[in-house]
Amino acid sequence: ALRVYRRVHGEEHTEVANSLMNLGIILGKKGQLDRAMAKLEKAHAMFCRLVGEDDENVAIVLSSMAFVLRNQGKGAEAMAVEEKVLRIRRRTLGSESDAVAN
């Protein structure tokens, strides 16, 4: 799917970033943590360039990065990333949102 999105949309597109994020999530769940983080970092950078840092897609990819960091034994780094997720969701969804409460 990633190849198709790159061919259709070019290298810099939200569909490409979304595909990178999904690939990173799958790799993380399979325990391929370094490969997962590499894909998630690319997706994060691309989303930030394309939609800005206050976007739900950025929050989702950061949350996935925190998952990988926790599984790499980097709990403090994971917590710092989760705090970024919370700040984004408070700004974009409001403090009363279920996504913020959870």
Give the per-residue pLDDT at 101. Answer: 62
Q: What is the pLDDT of residues 73-86, one digit of tens each?
A: 999 999 999 999 99
Q: What is the pLDDT of residues 29-72, one digit of tens each?
A: 999 999 999 999 999 999 999 999 999 999 999 999 999 999 99
Q: Which domain holds residue 34?
A: 2-101
> What CATH number is associated with residue 39?
1.25.40.10
Structure tokens at 50: 């394309």
Give the per-residue pLDDT at 4. Answer: 74
Backbone phi and psi for residue 92, each to the nearest 5 degrees, phi listed first: -90, -35
Total number of domains in the chain:
1
Threshold 0.75, pTM exceeds:
yes
**CB neighbour list of residue 79: distance below 8 Å, 6 or more residues apart:** 66
**CB neighbour list of residue 9: distance below 8 Å, 6 or more residues apart:** 15, 16
Percent of the chain at pLDDT > 90 equals 75
